[in-house]
Each structure stands twice: as C-alpha cells, then as structure tokens.
Chains A and B, each alone.
Chain A
Amino acid sequence: MSTHTGTMRTTRDARTRRTSRTARPNEARLAFWLVVPAMMVLTVIIGYPIGEAMVRSLYGDTIGGTAPFVGLSNYVSALVGTNSQEFWASAGATYLFAGVTVTMETLIGFGMALVMTRAFRGRGLMRASVLVPWAIPTAVTAVLWKWSFDPAGIINAVTGSHIIWTGSEWPSRTAIIIADTWKTSPFIALLILAGLQIIPDEVYEAAKIDGASAWQRFRLITLPLVRPALLVAVLFRLLDALRMYDLPAILTNGANGTTTLSILVVRATLSQLKPGYGGALSTLTFVFIFLTAYAFVRALGVHVVGRSEK
C-alpha cells in the first residue's frame, strides 16, 4: 500500500538481512516464480480492463463514428461541471454507507468472533448459522429485504410501524444499512475468528494467573495479537463497501439519496451508453478508494510484511 515507506522499509530490511545472513540470490528467483502466476492473472483480468477504461475516459461519447479525444473534460464535468451535483451527492452517500456499515460490521463481527472462539456445546452449529447471511447470494438477499421493507411487508407488520421504507431519504438509507450490516458482519467475524486461533491458550492462562481481568486480557492480549487479521478484514470490507452496488440497486434503485458511485458508473456505462464518462467515473471511484485505503493503512499501520525481521 504505502509505496514510499514500503520500499524504504524493504531496503532497510534487505540491508540488515544482508549483514546478518548470507545473501540468497536463489530466494529471489524462487519468490519470482511463486508470485508471478498470481500477478499474471491479475494483470490480464483486472489490469488490462482498468487501463482500457482509463484510456476510454479521455474520449467523448458520440453516437456512431469514432469517439473524439476530449482530454480531461469527462473528469471536469463530473467534479465541477454539469454533473458535479450528482457526483458529489453519490460520493457522500457512498462514504456514509461505507462508514456506518463498516463500523457496525466490525463491532458485531468482533463480538461474534469472541463468542465463536469459546468452547461450548453446539458451537459447530453456531458457526454455520453465523455464516448463513453471508452465504445467501446478494441478489436473493436484496429481494428478501425488498419484500421485508415493503410498506405492507413483514418489518412494518412485526414492529407495528407504518414507515414507507423506500419512500424517503433516511428510511431508505437505514434499510440499506441494516441489510448490508446483516449480510456482511459474518465476513468480518470469520476473519477475526481465524486470527484469534493464532493466540496460544497459555498466554491467557498466564495472564489469568497474574490476575488480569477479562477486560485487561482483551485489551492487552487479544487486541494486539488479533490486530493484523482485524486490519486486513476491515481494509477489504472498506474496499467492498465503497464499491457497494447490488443492495441499493435492488432495494431503492438509487432513489432518495441512495445512489452510490458504483450505481453511477453502471448507469453511465450500461444504460446511458456513455463509456467515456463511465470510464472517468470508475477512474475517479478508483482514486477515491485508493486514497481512502492509503489513509487507512498509514493511520493504522497495516504492516503485513513491513515489520523488521528478527
């Protein structure tokens, strides 16, 4: 992520290692052959289309004939021009959804993981049931929630309220946030659960003997040791939430201030047939997400390989 400090750290690591161990040129060769297959797949399937969309974003959208080169005017139109109001509104909605859902999912997912890691009868069944929301295809979930949030649907019937959920701004947003939080908390829970497995029981036992309270054990042992798994889970959740599409598309079709950046991209590319403007929108979304992820990594120090070796 952090290209700048990353390379600095790598060179520093390499230097310390060169002095401590003998240099291993065949390690680099092996590493090359182990990493290259994954990189090749990603370059062809993701890298090539990204490049294509970025190039296309510099061209206009005329029906028929060849598209004229328009420079950055697609970007200008989205950021400050005729479409800027729509663009910034959907950027706001996207960040609102991402901020609220990722926070709630992390808290709920962490709680789930802490319970799931305990030994009790029937925990296999519990683990399976926790994964149910994540396992249902999003398209089906969205239909389920759409019917449940119907004014005559089950949610109003059970709670005794008469809210027209998809009729105005905040009920629509609440519905989407509830549906997304329900669906994706298990994803974070499972990743944190796996992270918790790496903590040896002896550490907890030792802390217990020393009289550490449950809260102290959580804060001083669990939290620091599960941190790498937690940050990877939250980071990927953040990237996904900022690209949210299916739920708002099916629940509200982007009405009432629920248009996310991805919905804008789909509209421009598929329904309005403006590949140039669509390319600019997806590039902007990419830049936003990149900057957000960069800030996240810098602020919280996600060092998957960054730590200096012993």
Chain B
Amino acid sequence: MSTTTTSRTRGPLTGRATPVRRARRRVLSDAWLYATIALIVVFCILPFYWMIVSSLKGPRDILDNQLIPWHPTLVNYQAVFGGQNTFGLALKNSGVIAGSVTVVALVLGVSASYALARLTFRAKNTILAAFLATSMFPGVAILTPLFQLFANFGWIDTYQAMIIPDISFALPLGIWILTSFFRELPWELEEAARIDGCTRLQAFRRVLLPLAMPGVFTTAILVFIAAWNEFMIANSMSQTPVSQPVTVAIAQFSGISQFDQPFGTQMAAGVIVTVPLVIVVLVFQRKIVSGLTAGGLKG
C-alpha cells in the first residue's frame, strides 16, 4: 500500500493514482463488503427468523403471517418438553450419537487420509474411487438389508445401530476432504521433525496436524451436523424413546392439542435443536481459519 511501488522497475498493471483516490476506493470497497455481509446474513437468517417467530405464536395466531409475534407465548416450547414428549432424553441421545460419530469418523478418516496423501502404495486412486462410490447408492436401498443385519445382531434400539451407519455416511466425504487437505501440507516438516528424533506419529501429531486444523475442524462440523440431523436410519433403528434422537422425536410430535397441526411445536423443536449447533460453530469457528498461519510457518 505504500508509494514505493512506483519506484520499482515493474510498474503496476493497472493505473492506480493518488493516495486520496486509493483511500476513497478503500472506503467504497468496505461499504461493498458490509453490504455483501448484510445480504448474506439476511439470506441465511430470514427463514430461521420466520421459524422463531412461528414458534412464539399460539395456535390462534400461527396462520396470521404477522412478521412480528405481537402476542408471544411459550406454549409451543412447553409442548416440546411437556406431556408425553420425551424431548430432553432425545436431545441427550442425539448428542451421544453425533458426538461418537464425529470422534470415530475423524480418527478413521484422518488415518486413512494420512495414508492416501502421504504414503506410497498401489491402487490409491482405486481406493479413493471406492470410497466415493459408497456415496452413490440411494440411502433407502441400504436401509432394509441393514435393518435385517442389525436385527440379527440384536442391535435394534441401540446407539450403535445408528452410530455405525452414520460413520459410514460421513467417512467418504471426510476422507476426500482430509486427503485433499493433507496433500497441500508442507511435508518437508515431517522429515525435519523425524531427523530431530520424532517418531512418525509424533511428527504428524505435533507438527503437521496443527497445520491441517482448518480441514479437520471443517470435517468435524460437517460430520457432527450431518449425524445430528440424520433421520431415515434413526427412524427405523430406534424403536423406543430410550434411543430416539431428536429428529425422530420431532417427527412424532402430536402438538399442543390433539387436533392441532403441530407446526408451531415442530418449529419450536427446530429452534431448540438448531441453537446448540450454532453455539458449537461459534466456539469452533476460530479453528476453521487458523491452520497455516497458526503454525507459525507459511508457504
């Protein structure tokens, strides 16, 4: 940004002039940036706002299309946690399932991706293609054989009956993201660390994994959300509230009154389910954008 550019032998490609004009451009581009940010946030939040508004309306107001809930009420939230709905337990089940899926998928994914990105062996592309191909079959076609298999194991209505399928849905994406990330890492550092006496595992964990953190945390967030929101498998495998995750619980809502469309209650449940995820993202988002710069080494 300094005027020294003009004294360099290679002049600017575009004719930019005085500092005043440059400053004005800066203000202008800042204005554009904030306008774009506002646009994106509105695009993403507006339907969610409508969800919150709907969840705060009582059965009488729910269809009035008022953008502001003039008579806010918590009846929908009471309905979510009250009565025969075992929503608290469902939240815990979802947490256990999505948490286990994320941890196991990351461990399996990181080790497989390390091998695919770093080690020398045959048929790498075939293996990657095979991983990818497992994401090409309609989910419902997998459901019936899987249900029979797990019924033979006596696994129906257990956590593992949902955790293991979720892992296998998450793995292909995770392995592809992590492999493409690991490929870009400065692997000379690993050699250097090993010359300094690190084992292969230490070199990876202490030197390279910190650099790959944006990829790892991005994968973690995507896997956690996907597992938290999985419905089809869970709907068959969980038969009682003991193992039911939130998505299945929401689908079974009866609403406030018997003849009531449970729209308000479903929206309230949707808000309750989404807020923890937003908090998780807020906590971890810093990790998405650290990586190379955090490692103290660039290039």
Task: Mark A residues whose CB is within 8 Å of B.
Answer: 1-3, 5-7, 9-11, 13-14, 17, 24, 27-28, 30-32, 34-35, 37-39, 41-42, 45-50, 52-53, 108, 111-112, 115, 117-118, 120, 124-141, 143-145, 147-148, 152-154, 157-158, 182, 186-187, 190-191, 193-194, 197-198, 200-202, 208-213, 216, 228-229, 232, 235-236, 239-240, 243, 245-246, 261-262, 265-266, 269-270, 275, 278-279, 281-282, 285-286, 289-290, 293, 304-307
Contact = CB atoms under 8 A, between A and B. Distances in A.
Nearest to B165: A45
Nearest to B119: A31
B146 A3 contact: no
Given A49-B142, A147-B263, A212-B13, A286 B136 contact: yes
A35 B37 contact: no
A202 B293 CA distance: 11
Given A34-B111, A245-B140, A269-B144, A194 B132 contact: no
A197 B138 CA distance: 33
Given A132-B44, A286-B137, A45 B129 contact: no
Interface of B: 1, 5, 8, 10-14, 16, 33-34, 36-37, 40-41, 43-45, 47-48, 50-51, 54, 63, 65, 67, 108-109, 111-112, 114-117, 119-146, 149, 164-165, 167-168, 171-173, 175-177, 179-181, 183-184, 200, 214-215, 217-218, 221-222, 225, 228-229, 231, 246-247, 250-251, 263, 266-267, 269-270, 273-274, 277-278, 281-282, 285-286, 288-293, 298-299
Contacts of B267: 140, 143-144
Given A9-B125, A141-B270, A182-B43, 12 more contacts: A6-B123, A28-B122, A34-B115, A46-B142, A49-B149, A144-B54, A197-B214, A228-B180, A275-B144, A285-B137, A293-B132, A304-B180
A23 B250 CA distance: 56
6 contacts: A49-B145, A137-B231, A139-B250, A194-B214, A236-B176, A285-B138
Contacts of B164: 41, 45
B281 A128 contact: yes
A187 B223 CA distance: 11
